[in-house]
Amino acid sequence: MRIAVLGAGAIGAYAGAALHRGGADVHLIARNENLRAMREHGVRVLSPRGDFTAHPHVTDDPAEIGPVDTVILGLKAQQYAGCGPLLRPLLGPATSVVAAQNGIPWWYFHGVDGPFAGRRIESVDPAGAVSRTIPVERAIGCVVYAATEIAAPGVIRHIEGTRFSIGEPDGSDSERCRALSAAMEAGGLKCPVEQDLREDIWVKLMGNIVFNPLSALTRSTMVQICRHPATREMARTMMNETLQVAAELGVRPAVSVERRLAGAEKAGDHRTSTLHDLERGRPMELDVILSAVVELADLTGVPAPTLRAVDATAGLLNQRVSEPSAPAPSLAARS
C-alpha cells in the first residue's frame, strides 16, 4: 500500500513510522528542521511500548511522490482549505484522504439522511473551501486516540494510546478502509473500522471542547483544570451542553461526563496542543473543536450558554494570536 503523510508532525510522523515498520510504502512530507532530521536519521519513536526507528522516504515536494493509494493529513484543520497545491500531486483517480483531525469534520453531514443531509458547517468549511480542496467522496474519517509530541526534530515521543478509529462518512463497508486498517495494524497500531464514526467523534470532542480552549485561556494543564473546583464545574457544564447538541443530532455517546473528567485528570500535567500553539504564537485549532459545536447548537436550538461564552473569549484570544503574522499554512502539522 502506497501512503503519503502530508504534515509529518507528531501524529503524522508517528503514524507514518508505524506504517513503514509494518511494510507499507510510506512517504512523509515535512519541512525545516524536522525534514532535515528525518532525512538524515529517520523517524525515531520513543514509546513505553518500545523505541524504534523507521526510515521512510521524506521530502518537502509532493511532486517527487506522485499519486498514492491514501493520503493521511497531519495538518491542522484550519490549513485544509489552503493545502491544495501540496495535495493535488498525490491524488490519483481512487486516492482516499484520511483527515486525522480533532473536532467536527467537513464531511459530517455527508452520507446521512434527515433534515441536515448534505449541509455545510460554515465554521469548518467556510464557503465550501475545504470541500473544494478535499472532495467529500475522497474522505475517510479518522478519530485519533494517540497522544504524541515532538521531543526534538525527527524524534517523536509516544505518550499513550495507539488507536486510530476510521470509517466511511456514509457508514459503508469499504475495501479502502479495510486495506488501511490492515496496514495500520501491521505496524502495531489499533485501527478499527467503525460503521458510524460519529459517536467516536463526539466522545473525543467531549474532552477537546473543554480542555483545548480552557488550557489556553488559563495557561493550565488538564489536571490543574480538573482539580480547581470552579473550572472542573465549568468543564462538567461544557460537556453536558456538548452532549445536548450531539443528542439533537441523534448521537448519544456511551461514556459519562464523570468518566471523561476522571480520564482527563488521570492524564496529569498534559499540555494540550492548543496551549502549545498559543505559547508558540500560532493560530489555535478551535473552529472545528468549539465554534463548530456552537454553530450546531444554533442549528438544533440548544442554548449552550457556557460553550458560547468560552467560544467568544477563546475566539478573541485566537484572533489576537493570529494578527501579528500569518501562519505558514503549507505544512503546519498537527501534534
Q: Which domains does the chain have, with CATH numbers?
A: 2-195 (3.40.50.720), 199-322 (1.10.1040.10)
Q: What is the pLDDT of residue 326?
A: 44
Q: What is the pLDDT of residue 26?
A: 98
How far is the first Cα of the chain from the last one, in angstroms, to the nearest whole number?
25
Q: What is the pLDDT of residue 267?
A: 83
User: So which residues are the catalytic ones?
Assistant: 204
Angle at 310 between CA 275 and CA 108, to 5 degrees: 85
With 0.75 as the threshold, say if the pTM is over it. Answer: yes
Separation CA 67–CA 278 (nearest Å): 35
* Helix and strand counts by DSSP (H, E) for the chain: 12, 11
Per the DSSP assignment, residues forming a β-bridge with 28 are 5, 58
Cα–chain-centroid distance for residue 256?
22
Question: Are the C-beta atoms of 1 and 69 separated by less than 8 Å?
Answer: yes
Low-confidence residues of the chain: pLDDT under 50: 326-330
